[in-house]
Amino acid sequence: MGVHSTDQLLIIGGGLMGLSVAHSLAKKGKKVIIFSRRRNEAAGFVAAGMLAPHAEGLTGQMLKLGKLSLQLQSNWVATIEKDSGLDCGLRNCGIVVPFRNFAERDKYPTAQYGELLDRNALLKEAPGLHPQWKSGIIFHQDGQIDNRRLLMRALEKACFELGVQFQEGVKVLKLINSSKGFEGVQIQNAEGKIKSIHSKEGVLCSGAWAKELLTDLPIFPVKGQMLSIQGPRNALKRVIFGPGTYLVPRQDGLIIVGATSEKNAGFDEGLTPIGQTQLQEGISSLLPKASNWPHMERWWGFRPCTPDQKPILGVSSIKGLWLATGHYRNGVLLSAITSYLLQKIICNENLNTEEKEILKTFKWDRFQ
């Protein structure tokens, strides 16, 4: 077993959260290395890229966290685009949430933040919407980002340009720690060789797999299946966020359809007939004309979920090891605020009262 010492900060997990945190820390001059097993199975790839704290109907501290991240989004994306030279596909397109009646619409948790629509107004925002939807809300402040095709690639390039090192195809076998705190990781590389990497600082960003390394984190996988269809350009100008299914139109006419939520699937890989049928039925229930548009791609991934469906942020039970995991359905939305907060606490920057309260709310030991 080889032993390698390093003064670099170790990022465990190379998905969207790991890349986001790595980028923010590298901007502050940290030497960063990312360990990633298979990025294509990360939650960042199974997400549709909605930036939707209002359309999701978030409440309480989650709504506050989502709104703060939404406010950071534009500048955060601009920085990534500048560092990478690549477009991230950020669009402030607005999101429409349809309802079967006015009563359902008016009691929606975030109704006060949107524009209320009757059937006629709803059709203007989403032409061809199924007749069952009688009313709706449009949240003009919500939008989307092309996470799968553009953002992830831009973050990889931005990190590379800032000197971040990547180790892909690496499995982190265990954390190395003592009474003094975090001391590194034991890894198995793509060639099967096992060695230890020593460091006094690390961030656990391994999503649905985080519990395998730190057992006091109550994180479990929720499998999601998705597909994409090709529609005519500008066939859909808004995201449609329906119950159980959403349609997210990219600028080139590609529409992302998601997503199943399979809490009992564990880490079972692959597509299932039940999941794909659910998605197809979801398309028909929202936008019937889209049922005949050609299917382009189908995929799956694993979202990291906690008992309260809220993320785990900040310090861990091990000194020197920080946490950025458990984002469940809101990883894309919360990547900006997560990387911002992690950068501040790791770099010992002053936190304001609101930031301290957020980190207290989403601390790992709230489940104890």
Is residue 103's pLDDT more than 60?
yes
- The reported pLDDT for the residue numbered 39 is 66
What pTM does this model have? 0.95
Please state which CATH class domain 2-85+148-215+308-367 belongs to.
alpha beta
DSSP E strands in the chain: the ranges are 2-5, 9-12, 32-36, 50-51, 95-99, 115-118, 135-139, 143-144, 165-168, 171-178, 181-188, 194-198, 202-204, 220-230, 239-241, 246-249, 254-258, 295-305, 312-315, 321-325
Under the banding of pLDDT at 50, 70 and 90, the label for residue 78 is very high
Taking the domain 95-144+220-305, which CATH number applies?
Answer: 3.30.9.10
Residue 251 burial by Cβ neighbours in a 10 Å radius (0-12, 13-18, 19+): exposed
Phi and psi, residue 304, nearest 5°: -85, 115
Find out whether 331 and 300 touch, Cβ atoms under 8 Å: no
Q: What is the mean pLDDT of residues 188-216?
A: 95
Model pLDDT for residues 136-179, shown as the tens digit of each residue: 999 999 999 999 999 999 999 999 999 999 999 999 999 999 99
Domain ranges of the chain: 2-85+148-215+308-367, 95-144+220-305
Contacts of 251 (CB under 8 A, 6+ apart): 89, 91
Phi and psi, residue 329, nearest 5°: -85, -5
- The reported pLDDT for the residue numbered 1 is 47
How far apart CA 122 and CA 138 sit, in angstroms, is 8
Show contacts of 354-361: CB within 8 Å, 24+ apart. 354/68, 358/61, 358/64, 358/65, 358/68, 358/313, 359/313, 359/314, 361/61
Which amino acid would we find at residue 178? S
